[in-house]
Each structure stands twice: as C-alpha cells, then as structure tokens.
A and B are shown apart, each in its own frame.
Chain A
C-alpha cells in the first residue's frame, strides 16, 4: 500500500516531550499493540504504536519526530498499516497487570481501556522520569489500580517500576503486559523469569525497522530469527529467552549496538 494521506485533525500535548496526533483516518480493525509506519514527507518514515484507533503518541527524539512536532493541525502525514502482531486481549474477569515506562504507555493505555470494558481486573504500574512525563495517567486511572513511580521522586514513589513489581504477588495475574525502554523491560523480564511467569507475559519490542512488512530482515532477533516488525512487535516472554533481548540491538546497517 502507498501511504494513506492522513490529515492531523487534533494535536494534544500530553507531557513536555510527548504529543498525540489525531488523524482523520481511523484504523478500525487494528489490534492493540499493532503499529503504523508514519511517513513524514521529505524526512523519513518511522514506526509508531497506535495510542488510539486514529492516533499516535510521539516522543520527540530526533530528525523525524522533530519535524513531526513542527507540523500543525490541518497538516498531513502518510500512514501505512496496521502492521505486526499486537497484544492478546484478556478474557473476561481475568486479572491483568500492565507495566508501562515512559512513552511505552502509548499502546498500553488502549489495552487498559479495552480490558476494563471487557470486565478484566486491571492493575497498572506506570513509570516515568518525573511527574510531568507520566503519560496517560488519567486513562489508566479510569481502568484500575495505578501504582506510580518516578525516577526523581517528583510524584509518589521515587524509583523504578521494578521496585513495585518486586513487592507484588505476581502469581495472581493471569496476564502481564510490558512496554517501555528495553533495559526496564529486561529487568521486568528477569523478575518474571524468577517467578516463572514468562509464559503469561507479553513484551512490546523496539528495533530498527526498514520495510515494516517482514521482508528485508533488518529487525530480526538473535538467535530465533524472529522479525520484530512481523512476528512481533509483541512477543510472549518465553520467545525472548536466550535471545538478544536486553543485550543488544542492531542499527540501520545491521551492526550490533550493545545496551549499557
């Protein structure tokens, strides 16, 4: 598909570093956790999770996201998708735990709302650098119990999402969903591995995407060869055991970049 020409109908400043861009095009059949490729013409095309059926929530980090932040309401981008495999939707009355770090809250807020509307019991651990960067706190608060952590202690608990996780009884959750910076997810992974809960956990990963449709192989994981853009971005915890996850990722050329 040629990118769908989509008008930005509304822009919401969520935090100092993130904005939500609403489009006149809605991906009605998109699964939660699926992504779209966002073409910022003349600059680049980058993957973004859908934070609503018709919106993405973007953190400004580099060229393409900076250019996107200059586009105003009424401006256009091109959208391709939805692509990849999203989250497993919890069943009625299941007890679920969501762990969101930073802009990782983008795909998880929709999941919280969906789970709540389907009568699941939702617990959320939401972490951010500081109080201003807590993303979608109000969306989460309407869906269940929210634990909040900030790296600098500017709101609630000072520390990391894993501090809360370590105090929870993980065995009560039927499903656990995680999205955030890779090192945060890796720490969660290690805890869940110890608790033997990996098969109930789903992690949303981030790798460098080129084609976005599972052909070029730029985002393949070691040692499974799974493609993050097609077989993921959401993976069951078991599928990440003994992989590159938490160790390294590859840059655009395919060279390894080790996480520190």
Chain B
C-alpha cells in the first residue's frame, strides 16, 4: 500500500496521462493489468482532433510524439470518467488542460461530478500552441492556474511539470504556492526528427516531445532536484519500463512512478514493475516504498 496525497494505491505504479486514457474501458483494462492508479488523457474545454499523423514514432532510444491534446471535451469525457471510477477499482486521476485559469476551472468543475480521486494539471505538453508548456514555463501562470483549480475542487491537485525550463524547482515552488498537493515530473522533452530522404519533419506537427529510455536521466535529475527543494510529494515519470528504472526514480525522490511509453512493451509492465519493486524491498529488508524514497540524497 502506498499513500500519495491521501490516495491509497495498492502499488506505486500509475498509468501516465495520454496513454490508453481516452476511454473508460481502456482505463479499466490498464487497472486490471496491475496499475495502482490511472491518469486519464488530458481533457480540455472543447473537443480537439489533435495534430495530423504521423503523431508518434518509435526511435532507437525512445519515442517522439505530437498528439496535439486530442480529446472529446470534458462534457463528452464525463461518462468515461464515471465508468472508470465505477469499474477500475483503483484511484482515477483526471488530467486536465486549458489555456488560462478560467478554462482550467471550467474543466475541473465540469468533471467533478465524475468524482475523480485527484486532478493532474497538464501545464507541460510541449507541442500544443497556447496550452501546456506555453503556461508551464511561466511561474506566475502555473501558480494562477493551480490556485484557480484548488479553489473549486475538494480533491488533491497534482501539477505536472515540463523539463523544458532552466529551473524546474522555481516552477515547482510556484505550483506549491498555488496549493498543489503533489508534483508530477516530467512531461516529454521537446524534440524533433527529420526524414533525410525528403527533408520533411517526420511528425505532422513538425516537432514534438521525446519520451522513453532517452529521457530517464533527465527525469531522474528533475525529480532529484525537486525532492531536495520541495515539501510536497513528487511522482516520477519518464523512461520507466522496468522495476530497476522505478527503484532508481524512487531513490531520486519519487513517492510513486508513472509509466507511459513503457506500455509498448506490454500492459503487464505495471504488474512486472510493482512485483519487482516488492521483491527488491523485501530482499533489502525494507517494509515500504517510502523507506527508499529519496535515499540517494543521503549518499555522498
């Protein structure tokens, strides 16, 4: 059992936002496969088709995507959220986005009747103009958006940070000042690939965000820095597909981990990672995940 901002998770693996999270049925399936909690696709005020394909490609060292925040709008997503809440048997966290405080507030309020266990604010998607990183690189905006949502909801609010900043701790502090109960780090790292045969950027949106193995060291460092400077819990995400990766992230300072691209290896990734963490804890005489959270900070 892991407690994250009052949510009780049967294990510390969480489905990351934007991965198999557009429908209630797929969230339920991921929960049944062993995830300790699930985060929905980021949901906004209006329906959005997202960017043209190619929207995601696998590279040798990770994945590049520019989905463009496709979502059915909070109105159409509400029944999916309700379904996930009814049948998944795990905490369901609603990821939301908007272009300003008002939109964030509207979406959060619109989803409240679905009874999400927490909200995760996406101020970190690197490839949707006017959303995500456009807000998440600005401390004032992050604080404003966080407090706008905190004012209207009565469940924990997590804020998901972008690594595409000089000082992630400053943004984390702004979220905390706005009332965030936890931080989620990191979203994808801005990136691009070009087809040399034609000169065309590969992604329909031309550029996008890098995820998977390539970004793990970046995520580890962000979580490490946040842990050293913040009082609220941190959820680590970026490049996790094995229990060893998860343990590393927890040692950097994470209370729980999210898995996104790692789903490519199979949905049993949640089961395998949580079993692996359990075995590791047992072998080393620990009773709880908490006992190794941030231990890298005690080793010089």
Contact call A252/B21, Cβ cutoff below 8 A: no
In the complex, chain B residues 246-286 whose Cβ is within 8 Å of any chain A Cβ: 260-261, 263-264
Interface-located stretch among A41-49, A90-98, A137-145, A172-180:
A41-49
Determine the distance from Cα of A51 to Cα of B26 in the docked complex, in whole angstroms: 30
Instruction: Give bound CA distance, A80 to B55, whole Å.
Output: 12
Task: With A3-B54, A221-B25 as known contacts, state yes or no: A252 contacts B70, CB within 8 Å.
Answer: yes
Q: List 29 A-B contacts (CB under 8 A).
A: A39-B54, A43-B52, A80-B57, A210-B50, A210-B53, A211-B67, A212-B56, A213-B264, A214-B263, A214-B264, A215-B20, A215-B263, A216-B22, A216-B67, A217-B26, A217-B41, A218-B70, A220-B22, A220-B23, A225-B25, A225-B30, A227-B26, A252-B50, A253-B47, A253-B48, A253-B71, A253-B72, A253-B73, A254-B77
For the complex of A and B, the 7 pairs showing the least CB-CB separation, nearest first, are: A225-B29, A217-B20, A45-B53, A211-B56, A5-B197, A220-B26, A252-B49
> In the complex, what residues of A have CB within 8 A of residue B57's CB?
1-3, 80
**Which residue of B has the minimal Cβ distance to A244?**
B25
Number of contact residues on B: which range applies? 35 or more
B47 contact from A78, A214, A255, Cβ within 8 A: A255
Given A211-B67, A253-B71, A254-B76, 10 further pairs, Cβ under 8 A: A1-B57, A41-B200, A46-B53, A215-B20, A215-B260, A220-B26, A223-B25, A225-B28, A251-B49, A255-B72
Which residues 1-47 of B sit at the A interface, judged by CB distance below 8 A? 18-30, 41, 47
- A2 to B26: give the CA distance in the assembly, Å: 27
Interface of B is mostly: loop
Kindly state the separation between the CA atoms of A155 and B18 in the bound complex, as whole angstroms. Answer: 49
- Interface pair A217/B204, CB less than 8 Å apart: no
Judge if B65 is at the interface, Cβ distance under 8 Å. yes
A38 nearest in chain B by CB position: B53
Does A37 interact with chain B (Cβ within 8 Å)?
A: yes
Contact present for B72 and A254 (CB under 8 Å): yes
* B-side contacts of A212, CB under 8 Å: 56
Whether A211 contacts B65 in the complex (CB less than 8 A), given A2-B202, A220-B25, A253-B72, comes out as yes
Q: Are B21 and A217 in contact (CB under 8 A)?
A: yes
Would you give the shortest CB distance from B275 to chain A, in whole angstroms? 22
State whether the Cβ of B214 lies closer than 8 Å to any Cβ in chain A.
no
Docked Cα-Cα span, A43 to B24, in Å, equals: 31
Contact with B along A80-95 (1 / 0, CB 8 A): 1000000000000000
Do the beta carbons of A44 and B52 come within 8 Å of each other? yes
Compute how far the CA of A210 lies from the CA of B26 in the bound complex, rounded to whole angstroms.
16
Interface residues of B (CB under 8 A from A): 18-30, 41, 47-50, 52-59, 63, 65, 67, 70-73, 76-77, 193, 195, 197-198, 200, 202, 204, 260-261, 263-264
Q: Contact at A2–B25, with CB atoms within 8 Å?
A: no
Interface members, chain A 1-32 (any B CB < 8 Å): 1-3, 5
A254→B41 contact, CB < 8 A: yes
Count of residues in A whose CB is under 8 Å from the partner chain: 40
Give the residues in chain B near A5, CB-CB below 8 Å: 195, 197-198
Residues of A within 8 A of B70 (CB): 210, 218, 252-254
Query: Which residues of the partner chain A approach B49 to less than 8 Å between Cβ atoms?
Result: 251-253
**A220-243 CB contact bits vs B (8 Å, 1 = yes)?**
111111110000000000000000
Q: Does A76 sit at the interface, judged by CB under 8 A?
A: yes
Q: In the complex, what distance in Å separates the CA atom of A215 from the CA atom of B55? A: 11
Query: How far, in whole Å, are A254 and B55 apart by their CA atoms in the complex?
Result: 15
Determine the chain B residues whose CB is within 8 A of the CB of A215 once the complex forms.
19-20, 56, 63, 260-261, 263-264
Expressed in whole angstroms, the minimum distance between the Cβ of A38 and any Cβ of chain B is: 10
Residues of B near A226 (CB, < 8 A) are 29
The answer to whether A254 and B58 touch across the interface, beta carbons within 8 angstroms, is no
Q: Point out the residues of chain A lying under 8 angstroms from B23, CB to CB.
A: 217, 220, 222, 225, 250, 254
Write the nearest CB–CB distance from B156 to chain A, whole angstroms: 24
Given contacts A3-B54, A252-B70, contact A42 B200 (CB under 8 A): yes
What's the Cα separation between A251 and B73 when bound, in Å? 13
CA distance A234 to B187 in the complex (A): 33
CB distance from B191 to the nearest CB of A (A): 13
Say how far B265's CB is from chain A's closest CB, in angstroms: 10
Contact B54 A45, beta carbon cutoff 8 Å: yes
Chain B residues, CB < 8 A from A78: 195, 198, 202
Expressed in whole angstroms, the minimum distance between the Cβ of B17 and any Cβ of chain A is: 11
